[in-house]
Amino acid sequence: MAEAKKTVLILGGSSEIARATALTFAQGRWTVRLAGRSHRELQREADDISVRTGRTLTIHQLDVLDHGSFVAFVDALPDLPDVVISVVGLLGEQPRAEIDLHHARKIMRTNYEGPALILSLFAERFAGRGHGVIVGISSVAGDRGRGSKYFYASAKAGLTAFLSGLRNRLAINSGIHVMTIKPGFVRTRMTEHTQLPPILTAAPIEVGEAVLKGLNRRRDVIYVRSLWFFVMLVIRLMPERIFKRLKL
């Protein structure tokens, strides 16, 4: 890496993808800060990574559904990070969301509203400083809505569009880089009861490595397993009158 060792802030810090990402960055000698809701879970991950890498991590309380607290959250950080990564997400239960609007709203807010608003705040702070990297973990699900997951998918589609717009706005002379990560299937507790095709399924650590590698190469959009790019290309190109009849 060309730059000196920098600071990364990971939002949604107690998920497995966050854990793997934090470990990857800590091994790369970055200063890692974890933010999330449960102090105890964050502390457990921070201790683990600290023992494994010998680096000290800091943890910060954040409820991504409470946007009123965001400014205070950013102001209370020890410094404005060089890189912010949102790993915030909630798959939820589609059938339940269909009949329970509260649950549906929680899925939509957790996957779109929360991450988009807080990343937007970081974008403004980064713009004021003149540099920074914004990374959003979105999803291949957001590339096209499917009957079995459309609350989740639509919110991820929103996040993907948000990141794309932000990248477009800040592309020239801002010093800010915006990266969208689409992990595809990942072996986590979100998917532990699902049968997944091995070739399309990444381990959490692959996501962490993809983020760090993408950062160094200043990539814009990353499918963690590149095969997903082609899978989603086919899915996106399929005529709606065929697509709508598929059981997906």
Partner 1 sequence: MTTISGWGRYPIGDTEIISPRTADAARRATAAGDQAIARGNGRAYGDAAIGIRQTIALCHLNRMRAFDPTTGRVTVEAGLLLSDLITTFLPRGFFPYVVPGTDLITVGGAIAADIHGKNHHSEGGFGRYVDELLLALPTGEMLLASRDEHPDLFWATIGGMGLTGIILEATISLRPVETGWIRQRTIAADNLAAAITALQSCESVTYSVAWIDCLASGGRLGRSLIFLGEHAASDQLDEEQAVNRFPLRKPSLSIPIDLPYFVLNNWTVAAFNEFYFRSGARKSTSFTLLPVHSYFFPLDAIGNWNRIYGRRGFLQHQSVLPIKNAESTLAEMLDRIAQRGGSSFLAVLKKLSQGSGPLSFPMPGYTLALDFPIARDVFSFLDELDELVVAASGRLYLAKDARQLRATFEGGYPDMSSFRELRRTIDPGRRLQSRLAQRIGI
41 in contact with partner 1 (CB under 8 A): yes
* Span between the terminal Cα atoms of the chain, in Å: 42
Distance CA 39, CA 50 (A): 16
Report the nearest approach of partner 1 to the CB of residue 197 (Å): 18
Options 5, 52, 169, 236; binder of partner 1; rule CB under 8 A: 52
Options 1, 39, 47, 71; binder of partner 1; rule CB under 8 A: 47
213 in contact with partner 1 (CB under 8 A): no
Report the nearest approach of partner 1 to the CB of residue 44 (Å): 6
Distance CA 221, CA 107 (A): 23
Please name the residue that has the structure tokens 């965001």: 70
209 in contact with partner 1 (CB under 8 A): no
Report the nearest approach of partner 1 to the CB of residue 41 (Å): 7
Report residue 42 as tokens: 């964050």
Distances (CA, A) of 204 to 56, 158, 201, 208: 22, 23, 9, 7
Binding to partner 1, residues 73-112 (CB under 8 A): none
x/- mask, partner 1, residues 140-159, rule CB under 8 A, reads --------------------
Distance CA 143, CA 129 (A): 33
Which of these segments, 40-48, 92-100, 113-121, 132-140, binds partner 1 (CB under 8 A)?
Answer: 40-48
CB contact burial 117-143 (16+ within 10 A = b; e otherwise)? ebbebbbebbeeeeebbbbbbbbbbbb
Residues 166, 157 contacting (CB under 8 angstroms): no
Give 55 or 109: the residue with its C-beta nearer to partner 1.
Answer: 55
Q: How many residues bind partner 1 (CB under 8 A)?
A: 9
Binding site for partner 1 (CB under 8 A): 41, 44-45, 47-48, 51-52, 189, 192
